[in-house]
Amino acid sequence: MRKQLFIISIALLLISFGFNYFLKTGFVFSAIMIILILVGFYNTIQEKHAILRNFPVLGYFRYLFEMIAPEIQQYFIERTTDGKPFSRNQRSLVYQRAKNIDATSPFGTQLVLNQSSYEGIKHSMFPASVNHELPRVLVGGPDCRQPYSASLFNISAMSFGSLSENAIVALNKGAQKGNFYHNTGEGGLTQFHQNGADITWQIGTGYFGCRNAEGGFDADKFAEKANLDSVKMIEIKLSQGAKPGHGGVLPAQKNTEQIAKIRGVEPHTTILSPPSHSAFQNAKELVEFIAHLRELSNGKPIGFKLCIGETSEFEDLCNEMIHLNCYPDFITVDGAEGGTGAAPLEFADGVGMPFEPALIFVNKTLVRLGIREKIRIISSGKIISGYSILRAIALGADMCNSARGFMFSLGCIQALRCNNNECPTGVATQNKMLMKGLVVTDKSERVYHFHKNTLHAANELLAAAGKNSYGEVDINIFMRGDEFAHLSDSYFPDNLTNVRG
C-alpha cells in the first residue's frame, strides 16, 4: 500500500504542477500534495503504529473512526431498545420526566415479551387509589440518637472530581427543592454540596475530608463535618459495583488544583484510593468503627456500602454485629453492573455479584439471622424508573439510590467520555469551557422534576398492583417469562418464602 500511495501521490503532484505551469492554477493543490507526501514518508519510518507504516496517511481514517465510534453507534446504529448500559428508551424516559413533559410512549411495547427474560407486575383487577404523597423511610436503628426521615429515592454517591462543580451544585439544589438526600461520593464533602440539601457523607478508603497527613482517618476532622446540620447520614464505602476490591480512580486530567486541595493530594496526578480501609482490617474492627463514628457524630445514622463478593464474609460480619450487639443503621447494596467515572475493564466486567442476587442475598441473610428489623437496606444499581424502584423493594430494599439516572436528568447523553475529561454536556468533566454548558438553574429544576415524577410513577405502579403501601410489596407481585415464574425462583429459591421478613 505504501508504494501505491506514493505512486498515486507523485502522479497527482506532477499533474498539479502541469496545471500550475500551463493554466496558472493548481498551486494550492500542489502544496497540499507535498504536505501529504511528507506526512506519508514520516508514517513509513515511524515505529509506533503499524497501521500508519503500512497505510501511510490513509491509516489516520482508522483512528478517526475509532474516535467517533460511540457517536456512530449511538446516533446511527442502535435501536431504541438497544444501548448499553442504558437503552435509548430508558434515557428518553429520564429526559422527559426531568423536563416535566409528557413521558408516554405510542403504539405499544417494542420489547419481545414471550421469552424467559421478560418481567412484569401482576396488576390487580381492583387497583388501589394512587397516593400523591411521595413516600419516605425512617432510618435509624436501636443505637441511633438522630434518626433521619429519608425519601424513598435519592441521589447515589458521585464525587466532586468525577462530576463538575456545576453538576454537583445542580444536584444539590434539586435535592433541596425535592426534599431528598444527596450522597457526596468518596471525594468528600465540599462547598458545592452545601446548597441546602440533606447530605449523606460517604467515607472512602482515601478518607478525603477526614484525612490526616499520612492518609489515614482523622477523628477530629470527621467530627467537625459529621456534626454539620446538613449531614444527615454517614456511609462507609467498602466497595462499589463497578470496581469492587479496587478503590476509587480519579484520572490525572480531572485532578485539578482545586480538587487536590480539597482531597489533600498532589494535583494533576492520577489518584488511586487504596483497595481497603486502614481504620479497620476485619469484621470486628468494622463494627467497632461504626460505633466510633456514631459517637463522633452524636448518634447520626451510620451505614456502609458494598458490592457482594465472598458471601461468607458478609455472613461473618452479621454474626459479629450480633456478638457485639452493635448494628449499622443501613446497608447500601451495589451490584456489579453499577456505574463509575473510571474503572479497569476487568473489574467492571468480571468482579462482584450482580444487583439482583446480591440484594436478595443480603436481605435473606438479615432475615435468617433475625436482625432485619434493625437495619435499613438501600439499593443502588441502575435504578432509573418507577418500575425499577418497585422491583428493588420487592427484592428486599427499603429505599433506592440512583447515580446515572440523576446524571441523565442533568443532560448526560451516555457519551462514554467520563474518564477522559471530555464530557460534552459538562456533567463529568473539569474542563471549564465544557462545564459552562451546564446551567445550574435549569438543571436543578430537572433534577427536582425527575425525582418527583419517578416516584409518582412508582406510586401508580403500586396502585395498579392493588397495594396501598410499599410495606405490602413483596416478590409475588412480579411475574417472569413465558412460564410466569416468580422472580424468587431465579435466586436462592429455598430461602425466600418470606423475603421481606
Whether 260 is covered by a domain: the verdict is yes
pLDDT of residue 165: 92
What is the pLDDT at residue 359? Answer: 94
**The predicted structure's pLDDT at residue 387:** 93
- Output the pTM of the full model: 0.83
Q: Which amino acid is present at 248?
A: G
Q: How confident is the model at residue 50 (pLDDT cuts 50, 70, 90)?
A: confident
pLDDT of residue 38: 81
Has residue 109 been placed in a domain?
no
Q: Which residues contact 106 (CB under 8 A, 6 or more apart)?
A: none
Whether 379 and 289 share a structural domain: yes
The answer to whether the beta carbons of residues 314 and 308 sit under 8 Å apart is yes
Is residue 473 assigned to a domain?
no
The answer to whether residues 276 and 413 belong to one domain is yes
Confidence label for 377 from pLDDT (cuts 50, 70 and 90): very high
Cα-based distances in Å from 122 to 132, 152, 175, 263, 473? 21, 22, 32, 49, 11
The verdict on 169 and 39 lying in the same domain is no
Residue positions counted in the chain: 501
Query: 61 Cβ partners below 8 Å, 6+ apart?
Result: none
Q: Do 288 and 422 share a structural domain?
A: yes
As a whole number of angstroms, the distance between CA 151 and CA 334 comes to 18
Higher pLDDT pick, 335 / 312:
312
On whether residue 108 sits in a domain, the answer given is no
Residues 60 and 161 in one domain: no
**SS3 state at 59:** helix
- Say if residue 53 is in the same domain as residue 170: no
Q: pLDDT tier at 492 (50, 70, 90 boundaries)?
A: low
Residue 463 has pLDDT above 90, yes or no: yes
Range with the poorest average pLDDT among 86-90, 272-276, 456-460, 495-499? 495-499
Average pLDDT over residues 478-490: 62
Our measurement of the distance from residue 386's CA atom to the centroid of its chain's CA atoms, rounded to an integer in Å, reads 17
| Percent of the chain as helix, strand, coil, to the nearest 5 | 45, 10, 45
Question: Would you state the pLDDT for residue 455?
Answer: 97
* Stretch 57-66: mean pLDDT: 80
In this structure, what CATH number is given to the domain that contains residue 362? 3.20.20.70
**Tell me: the pLDDT tens digits for 256-272?**
888 888 887 888 888 77
How high is the pLDDT of residue 447? Answer: 96
Distance CA 421, CA 433 (A): 11
CB atoms inside a 10 Å sphere around CB 83: 17
Count the domains in the chain. 2
Picking from 40, 67, 94, the residue at the C-terminal end of a domain is: 67
Residues 6+ apart with CB under 8 A from 287: 317, 320, 321, 324, 326
Q: What is the pLDDT of residue 265?
A: 82
pLDDT score for 338: 72
Do the domain assignments include residue 113?
A: no
Model confidence band, residue 41 (pLDDT cutoffs 50, 70, 90): confident
Contact status, residue 110 vs residue 474, Cβ threshold 8 Å:
no
Residue 22 has pLDDT above 70, yes or no: no
pLDDT tens-digit profile of 313-354?
A: 999 999 999 999 999 999 999 987 777 766 677 777 777 788
In 384-430, where does DSSP find H-type helix?
Answer: 386-394, 404-410
Residue 12 has pLDDT above 70, yes or no: no
Domain containing 389 equals 136-468
Asked if 243 and 205 count as a contact pair (C-beta separation under 8 A), the reply is no
Is 479 a member of any domain? no
% of residues, the chain, pLDDT over 90? 49
pLDDT at 81 over 60: yes
Residue 310 and residue 412 in one domain:
yes
C-alpha 398/C-alpha 499 separation (Å) is 12
pLDDT value, residue 289: 97
Shared domain check, 263 and 182: yes
- SS3 letters for 73-137? HHHHHCCCCCCCCCCHHHHHHHHHHHCCCCCCCCCCCCCCCCCCCCEEECCCCCCCCCCCCCCEE
pLDDT at residue 487 greater than cutoff 60: no
pLDDT of res. 99: 93
Which DSSP category does 493 fall into? G
**Confidence check: pLDDT of 17 > 90:** no
What pLDDT does 11 receive?
74
Nearest to 270 by CA among 321, 322, 343, 176: 343
Tell me the average pLDDT of the chain. Answer: 86
pLDDT at position 417 is 81
Same domain for 152 and 54?
Answer: no
Is 230 a residue whose pLDDT tops 70?
yes
Provide φ and ψ at 231, rounded to 5°. -80, 110
Do 147 and 25 share a structural domain?
Answer: no
Within-domain flag for 186: yes
Q: What is the DSSP letter of 276?
A: S
310 and 424 share one domain: yes
Three cell numbers at 258?
482545586
Whether residue 491 lies inside any domain: the answer is: no
3-state secondary structure of 494: helix
Which range among 387-391, 398-402, 486-490 shows the weakest confidence by mean pLDDT? 486-490
For residue 455, give the 3-state DSSP assignment.
helix
Higher pLDDT, 396 or 382: 396
| Residue 112: burial class (beta carbons within 10 Å; 0-12, 13-18, 19+) | exposed
CA nearest to 303, candidates 281, 327, 328? 328
Position 418 confidence tier, pLDDT thresholds 50, 70, 90: confident
Mean of pLDDT values over 364-380: 96
Same domain for 140 and 46: no
Lowest mean pLDDT among 185-189, 195-199, 250-254, 292-296: 250-254
Tens digit of each residue's pLDDT (9 = 90 or more) over 145-179? 999 999 999 999 999 888 999 999 999 999 999 99
